[in-house]
Amino acid sequence: MKYLIVGLGNIGDDYVGTRHNIGFEVVESLGKKFGGEWKSVKHGSLCEVSHKGRKLLLLKPNTYMNLSGKAVSFWMQAEKIKLENVVIITDDLALPVAKLRLKSKGSDGGHNGLKSIQASLSTTNYARLRFGIGSEFSQGRQVDFVLGKFTTEERSSIDIAIDRAVEGTLQYCTLGAGFAMNYTNT
């Protein structure tokens, strides 16, 4: 059984470690857990790992956030991965820092990466793991905030939440959405 686990973010040194790239951090941590190696592929970087008889394709799209759907759609088709075997990991301003929310479907919540995926797949019925990045910014400063880095104080809770996101994603792939949501959303 194959799964496509997509961490959303933007490529380039300017974006490394930013709030907007937390999806990349989660899939990188997942790949590292299994000693996977990343390779440059069409529309991104891919790392293939195995867990309990499942093949997990970890993807970091290089299409930038606003065109994430192009990479997701391409790799679903190329690897013949069913919609129910796709998990999108993304940042979320509406959640407090390090709060996780896994859902099997839902709206884009105003997130451009999710809007792009919805447009490419013509559905909102795909799993998404939203990773809270907080919303402590003044009016008109949202872009600076999401493209900024976590504070030193936030970083320790972020690292713990990344580990939890990795485990929740693995549970989604092995035990199903219900178990994974119970674990992740607690």
What is the C-alpha separation between 20 and 15, in angstroms, rounded?
Answer: 8
Contacts of 180 (CB under 8 A, 6+ apart): 102, 168, 169, 171, 172
**What pLDDT digit, counting tens, does each position of 133-178 carry?**
999 899 999 999 999 999 999 999 999 999 999 999 999 999 999 9
- Residue 186's pLDDT is 81
Quick one: tokens of 29? 């941590």
**What pLDDT digit, counting tens, does each position of 41-78 carry?**
999 999 999 999 999 999 999 999 999 999 999 999 99
> Is 51 one of the annotated active-site residues of the chain?
no
Active-site position among 20, 43, 51, 111? 20
DSSP state letter for 25:
H
Domain map of the chain by residue range?
2-184
**What pLDDT digit, counting tens, does each position of 75-130 carry?**
999 999 999 999 999 999 999 999 999 999 999 998 999 999 999 999 999 999 99
Domain 2-184 fold:
Rossmann fold (3.40.50)
**Residue of 110, 106, 26 lying closest to 65 (CA atoms):** 110
